[in-house]
């Protein structure tokens, strides 16, 4: 496929393909119609033949070339599959477009400091697993790192000290940035404010601007309660913005999508193993964790 794309990328060769789509033609006629010299036309045709785009046969003193339509159909099918993948409902491209719309709106609104103060976002998830298990996923750094980013990112540094006054540090990179050579996608620092074991967790967290200043402060309240069946947990999250800067528009535009994706990942992890036998313990004696 790479050889095919390389062969078709040249404008002169693409012109020859168009001429051969009409009918088979000899080299001399192709050179005349394309306005090129015959030796150069021959080289282009040989490249196309090696890539499987055309075929040729000698007739007397002439070599006649013809298009191989199956190669173009294979390319069209491959391109169609790529387009379908990018365009699938609920896929990454749809999320990209949604974020773009939100980004434009927030940038227009960010005219002065404090422009987004008081903005709230609410999230609810009904999770599999009892509140003690969900609590560990909210407070244990090793478990937090599995879900506490949007789909296209990964946690690269995390500290979460789950007691009042405890420190929070969150750094994340692109999910495909395995060696950390790309720029850091985001960094945030904060403090745990309130802890009621297995019931309520509150913290504030501030994403940092590229220059090191605070973009805004997020006040996050998470409430847990067992479901009616006693085997699951209802999680309610209130996310409130304060101290917003003009530069925070790009961050705030992604809150609803990004935090929602994170919670969806948490739900998927718990659904895959609601008993979490690897991490489950009989008693939750220490929720403090750093990494």
Mean pLDDT on 214-232:
93
Give 2-47 pLDDT, tens digit per residue: 899 999 999 999 999 999 999 999 999 999 999 999 999 999 999 9
Domain shared by 130 and 261, yes or no: yes
Domain shared by 136 and 225, yes or no: yes
In a domain, 214, yes or no: yes
| Diameter of the chain measured on Cα atoms | 91
Alpha-carbon gap, residue 152 to 145, rounded angstroms: 14
In a domain, 86, yes or no: no
In a domain, 167, yes or no: yes
Give 171-193 pLDDT, tens digit per residue: 999 999 989 899 999 999 999 99
Mean pLDDT on 266-288:
62
pLDDT given for residue 93 in this prediction: 84
Contact assessment for residue 220 and residue 203, using Cβ atoms and an 8 Å cutoff: yes
Judge whether residue 88 has pLDDT over 90. no
pLDDT given for residue 231 in this prediction: 86
pLDDT given for residue 230 in this prediction: 75
CA-wise closest residue to 52 among 71, 25, 33, 24 = 71
**Which domain CATH number covers 46?**
1.10.10.10
132-162 in b/e form (b: 16+ CB < 10 A) is bbbbbbbbbbebbbebbbbeebbbbebbbbb
% of residues, the chain, pLDDT over 70: 93
Alpha-carbon gap, residue 124 to 17, rounded angstroms: 56
In a domain, 93, yes or no: no
What is the 3-class SS of the chain, one letter each residue?
A: CHHHHHHHHCHHHHHHHHHHHHCCEEHHHHHHHHCCCHHHHHHHHHHHHHCCCEEEEEECCEEEEEECHHHHHHHHHHHHHHHHHHCCCCCHHHHHHHHHHHHHHHHHHCCCCCCCCCCEEEEEEEEECCHHHHHHHHHCHHHHCCCCCCCCEEEEEEEECCCCCCEEEEEEEECCCCCCCCCCCEEEEEEEEEEECCCEEEEEEEEECCCCCECCEEEEEEEEEECCCCCEEEEEEEEEEECCCHHHHHHHCCHHHHHHHHHHHHHHHHHHCCCCCCCCCCCCCCCCEEC
pTM higher than 0.85 for the full model? no
Judge whether residue 94 has pLDDT over 90. no
Query: How many structural domains is the chain composed of?
Result: 2
Mean pLDDT on 265-272:
96
Domain shared by 268 and 197, yes or no: yes
Domain that holds residue 217: 113-290
Domain shared by 148 and 267, yes or no: yes
Mean of pLDDT over the chain = 92
pLDDT given for residue 166 in this prediction: 98
């Amino acid at each position: 496929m790479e050889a095919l794309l390389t062969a078709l990328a040249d404008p002169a060769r693409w012109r020859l393909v168009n001429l051969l789509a009409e009918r088979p033609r000899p080299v001399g006629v192709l050179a005349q119609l394309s306005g090129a010299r015959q030796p150069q036309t021959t080289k282009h045709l040989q490249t196309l033949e090696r890539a499987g785009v055309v075929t040729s046969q000698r007739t007397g003193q002439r070599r006649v070339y013809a298009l191989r339509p199956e190669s173009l159909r294979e390319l069209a099918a491959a391109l169609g599959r790529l387009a379908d993948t990018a365009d699938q409902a609920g896929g990454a491209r749809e999320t990209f477009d949604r974020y773009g719309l939100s980004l434009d709106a927030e940038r227009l609104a960010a005219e002065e400091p404090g422009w987004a103060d008081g903005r709230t976002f609410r999230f609810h998830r009904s999770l599999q697993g009892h509140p003690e298990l969900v609590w560990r996923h909210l407070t244990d750094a090793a478990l937090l790192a599995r879900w506490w980013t949007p789909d296209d990112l990964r946690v690269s540094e995390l500290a979460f000290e789950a007691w009042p006054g405890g420190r929070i540090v969150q750094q994340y990179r692109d999910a495909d940035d395995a060696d950390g050579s790309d720029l850091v996608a985001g960094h945030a620092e904060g403090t745990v404010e309130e802890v009621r074991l297995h019931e309520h967790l509150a913290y504030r967290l501030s994403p940092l601007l590229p220059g090191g200043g605070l973009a805004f402060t997020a006040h996050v309240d998470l409430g847990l309660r067992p479901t009616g069946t006693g085997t699951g947990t209802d999680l309610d999250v209130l996310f409130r913005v304060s101290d917003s800067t003009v530069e925070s528009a790009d961050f705030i535009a992604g809150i609803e999508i990004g935090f929602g994706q994170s919670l969806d990942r948490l739900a998927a992890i718990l659904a895959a193993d609601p008993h979490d036998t690897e991490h489950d313990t009989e008693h939750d004696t220490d929720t403090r964790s750093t990494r």
